[in-house]
Amino acid sequence: MKTQKHTLLGGMLLLLMASFQLTGCKEKDQEVLSSEKSIEEYYFLKQYNPGMDRERIDGVIDESTQTIRVEIEQRGLDISNLKASFKVSDWSSIAIGTISQESGQTINDFNQPLTYTLRAMDGTTKDYTVEVTVPLYDGSSLLDMKLLQIHNESLNSDCTGQINEETRTVTFDVPYETDLSALRFSFELSPKATAAIGSVIQESGVTENDFSESNTKTFTVTSEDQEHTTDYTIVVNKETSRTYYFTSQADVDNFDPVVPIKNVVFTGPGITNEVMCSFAQRQFDIGNNIELDNTDITDLGFIQYLKDPDLGYVIRNHSQFVDLDEIWRVTVFKGDFIIEDNTPAFKIKQGYLEQVTEIAGDLRIRATDIESQLLSGCRRIGGNVHLEIVGTPTGECWILFGGWSGAKLETIGGDLYIANFPKLGSLGGLEALTSIGGNVTITGNSGEYSEMETNPNGWALVKKWVETGVVKPGASLTLVRADGSKVDLDNY
């Protein structure tokens, strides 16, 4: 009987232990197979999204509709590669489609609503739709428009349209030989704006437009938010004269222009002093520039034979050009005066240009030396002014314009750029300026005789230009000393 009692008691203990084990497993299974699946927090952090202007932007979670809305006030933020941060319920996983999501790490494109799927431990799922919005741009302006040679084969150089915001017109003056039937405009618009001519959407540098029958078309700019439009009238004026090219004496001998001459361009080693004199002695009417590019001429002696020496002159890419003396015959440059990219970059001596009263186009000189009082008698320059020392200078240019004869230059139609003069200490001669049409850049210059810091015609003169409107509102102003430090006009 005693043995039977022990056996019965042992059996009961085993049954009790088995019952506890079954109960414990059931409770454990219920805990592991949780049905919890929710997004508890959803936000964006600047530390993971450097383009944001705020440290944190929170989303609004609506459990009734299972949606999350994130409103970003930062206009123009790129939302195509943002990293979202989030907190989800314990034991649940989160994915977009088949791609598992990691808080603060996974990149997604939020330009369209995204669906996040949460999966609980018990295998059930729940979807949240996330929508991110940013303010749309409302600008509808045309900022810049060009006809680039790379996109328009009939052009010999790039052509910039003149934008008049008051009349909403863009005017192009293109060479006589330009093909107007397939013009491709390159342009810059307000951010995210689009453009069209008629019903044809315009792609910068790609879309062809036919101006052969009418020289005007309406260019409509529409803002990103579709609420603003601005119409510009493009006017393409084809010049009634053209540019002619010469590479040898034979080209000169056979030249019989059928259209009035705008420019003549002489290129290559076949162009010598004798060829230039031969051309000049034929007394052609030239409207604008004589350009010499990488020729074998050594001086400007041909000028004495021209019918009218008051033309524009462009001299570039020469390795043996030695003499500019004949330039004294020119009193008005009807085109440009450009000296650049010559090796050695010969000096422009004092007195070369003292007789010049006007330059209709650009003045661009990049030379080893430009001596003082460069344009002591000039009153107007219609285009850009670019004066730069290149190479190793030996001269002592301390004042570019005017000097003892007083300030005479009144207007510059385009940009003013003065760079790398090792002894320039004054902008004397520019005191009479009433208008600079473009941007101003004065950089890399150092003064030995009268410092730009203390001379009233130094940085103080530039400050006066800004205060009196000589420099137009909106023009960029780049002022940098030779040591690389930037100039603060408030100190002058």
Does 163 fall in a domain?
Answer: yes
**pLDDT the model gives residue 277:** 97
Does 343 fall in a domain?
Answer: yes
CATH number, domain with residue 72:
2.60.40.2340
Does 17 fall in a domain?
Answer: no
Mean pLDDT of 322-330: 88
CB neighbours of residue 328 within 10 Å? 16
Whether residue 492 sits in one domain with residue 351: yes
Whether residue 350 sits in one domain with residue 338: yes
Whether residue 392 sits in one domain with residue 464: yes
**pLDDT the model gives residue 453:** 87
**pLDDT the model gives residue 76:** 82
**pLDDT the model gives residue 5:** 44
Mean pLDDT of 280-288: 96
Whether residue 380 sits in one domain with residue 313: no
Q: How confident is the model over 374-423, as pLDDT tens digits? A: 788 889 999 999 999 887 776 667 777 765 556 689 999 999 999 998 88
pLDDT band at 369 (very low <50, low <70, confident <90, very high): confident
Q: How many CA atoms lie within 13 A of 105 on its CB side?
A: 6
- Examine the pLDDT at 473 and tell me if it is beyond 80: yes
Is the preceding peptide bond at 344 cis, omega within 30 degrees of 0? yes
Does 263 fall in a domain?
Answer: yes
Does 20 fall in a domain?
Answer: no
The letter for the amino acid at 343 is T
- Examine the pLDDT at 6 and tell me if it is beyond 70: no
Give the whole-number percent of the chain exceeding pLDDT 70: 91
Mean of pLDDT over the chain: 89
Distance CA 81, CA 86 (A): 16
Which one has a higher pLDDT value, 89 or 394? 89
DSSP string, 143-179: EEEEE-GGG-TT-SS-EE-EEETTTTEEEEEE-TT--
Whether residue 374 sits in one domain with residue 454: yes
- Examine the pLDDT at 20 and tell me if it is beyond 80: no
Instruction: State the residue range of the domain holding 415.
Output: 331-492
Query: For the chain, how many structural domains are there in total?
Result: 4
Q: In what order do the strands lie in the sheet with 289-293?
A: 242-246, 261-267, 289-293, 312-316, 337-340, 363-367, 385-389, 416-419, 440-445, 477-481
Whether residue 81 sits in one domain with residue 63: yes
* Final residue belonging to a domain, choices 299, 329, 359: 329
- Examine the pLDDT at 274 and tell me if it is beyond 90: yes
Report strand pairing: 39-45 vs 56-58. Answer: antiparallel
- Examine the pLDDT at 90 and tell me if it is beyond 60: yes
Whether residue 345 sits in one domain with residue 320: no
Mean pLDDT of 363-369: 89
Whether residue 168 sits in one domain with residue 125: no
Q: Tokens representing 219?
A: 């260019």
Distance CA 304, CA 112 (A): 72
Does 293 fall in a domain?
Answer: yes
The letter for the amino acid at 104 is G
Q: Worst-scoring range by mean pLDDT, 124-128, 313-317, 449-453, 486-490?
A: 449-453
- Examine the pLDDT at 4 and tell me if it is beyond 50: no
pTM of the complete model beyond 0.75? no
CA 454 to chain centre: 34
Helix (H, G, I), strand (E, B) or coil at 327: helix
**pLDDT the model gives residue 253:** 97
Q: Worst-scoring range by mean pLDDT, 41-55, 308-322, 337-351?
A: 337-351
Distance CA 71, CA 120 (A): 29
**pLDDT the model gives residue 190:** 95
Mean pLDDT of 321-330: 88
Does 257 fall in a domain?
Answer: yes
**pLDDT the model gives residue 1:** 46
Q: How confident is the model over 132-172, as pLDDT tens digits? A: 999 989 999 999 999 999 999 999 889 999 999 999 999 99
Distance CA 143, CA 437 (A): 16
* Final residue belonging to a domain, choices 115, 133, 151: 133
